[in-house]
A and B are shown apart, each in its own frame.
Chain A
């Protein structure tokens, strides 16, 4: 398909998929994974108590609350273990892919963005709602909630860069098939042209 002449896309100020941007996210997520595994260990009965410098036995109250037990029954495992898995997905999805994955695997960046941004907000809201409804606070849960919030702006740059790339492909072709091929990582003429422009 021949492309008509279009205004050149503005160049990225920096590589949105560089490891320099992604490694801090992976480290933060790994830290939260370790905390969540520690909390799950208490819920499984592997450790007798949980360290909490601010709220005393608040963490233990939250982790053994009726709400937590209900979650355990619904999902079939402790809620902290589900949290550990969620943070592990952020570690793996932040590290997977080359330093140009915004072009080669946009689907991976979008999946990563969905994992970090909406799920991060939801998990933070859950921690706060749990604290309010139970009337006790869990220090380490709040730490993981803060980690989730800190990761959002760090991940947003790459997600935004990928959307810019996809939007430019759409503007240039107005063809859903080409946009889909670009999204799933198939080489397209428009995708290559746009990527060369935005990469500078």
Chain B
């Protein structure tokens, strides 16, 4: 499980951190989008990342949604806060960029893609 889906697990962990960081870093709440004293946008997007991670175990195409969510985290954090922004906003931009990076890494990155496997001689690695 960890070997097959480690990029997705990293994205899920980043989603959890995105939610937790709003309390850990003491986000100054935006009155327009306040929930429990924190900004709702990163919290909602963090929960979305965790949900998409769970979906991606079954549906490979969820990876594209994770990439889009990461981009949305960056864009909204960049647009909704003054720059230089509060620590939580800078944190969200960095987390979004890292999510986008890991979303490019396919599942089972060390193995041939599923479509290639019928053509390779061993299930793991063809000799060169």
Q: Interface residues, chain A, CB within 8 Å of chain B?
A: 12, 15, 18, 44, 72-77, 81, 85, 88-89, 92-93, 96-100, 104-105, 108, 111, 185-187, 192, 199-200
Q: Does B102 contact A (CB under 8 A)?
A: yes
Let me know if A187 and B93 touch, CB within 8 A.
Answer: no
7 contacts between A and B (CB under 8 A): A75-B83, A76-B77, A76-B84, A92-B104, A96-B105, A187-B116, A187-B118
B106 CB within 8 Å of chain A: yes
Q: Which of B76-91 contact A (CB under 8 A)?
A: 77-78, 81, 83-85, 87, 89-90
B105 touches A76 (CB 8 A): no
Whether, in the assembled complex, B110 has its beta carbon less than 8 Å from a beta carbon of chain A, the answer is yes
| Residues of chain B within 8 A of A105, CB atoms compared | 106, 113
A92 to chain B: which residues have CB within 8 Å?
101-102, 104-105
CB pair A81–B110 under 8 Å, yes or no, is no
Select A98's contact among B94, B101, B111, B119, beta carbons within 8 Å.
Answer: B111
* B interface with A by C-beta (< 8 Å): 7, 77-78, 81, 83-85, 87, 89-90, 93-94, 97-98, 101-102, 104-106, 109-113, 115-116, 118-119, 125-126, 128
A149–B109 Cα distance when bound, in Å, is 27
Report how far A131 CA is from B77 CA in the complex, Å.
30
Partner of B83, one of A76, A99, A104: A76
Instruction: Please determine whether A100 and B104 come into contact, CB atoms closer than 8 angstroms.
Output: no
Query: How far does the alpha carbon of A98 sit from the alpha carbon of B112 in the complex, in Å?
Result: 7
Q: Would you call A187 and B98 a contact (CB within 8 A)?
A: no
A93: B residues at CB distance < 8 A: 104
B125 lies within 8 A of A98 (CB): yes
Is A97 touching B83 in the complex (CB atoms < 8 A)?
no
The 10 residue pairs across chains A and B that have the minimum distance between CB atoms: A96-B109, A96-B105, A77-B90, A15-B128, A76-B83, A73-B83, A104-B112, A76-B78, A72-B84, A76-B93
- Specify which chain B residues have a CB less than 8 angstroms from the CB of A73 in the assembled complex: 83-84
Set of chain A residues within 8 Å of B90, measured between Cβ atoms: 76-77, 81
Query: Closest CB-CB distance, B31 to chain A, in whole Å?
Result: 21
Q: Is the CB of B94 within 8 A of A77?
A: yes
Chain A residues within 8 Å of B98, by CB: 85, 88
A111-B83 in contact (CB<8A): no
Min distance, Cβ A160 to any Cβ of chain B, angstroms: 16
Known interface pairs A76-B83, A100-B128; A185-B101 also in contact (CB < 8 Å) = no
> How many angstroms between the C-alpha atoms of A77 and B81 in the bound complex?
12
> Which residues of A have CB within 8 Å of B81?
76
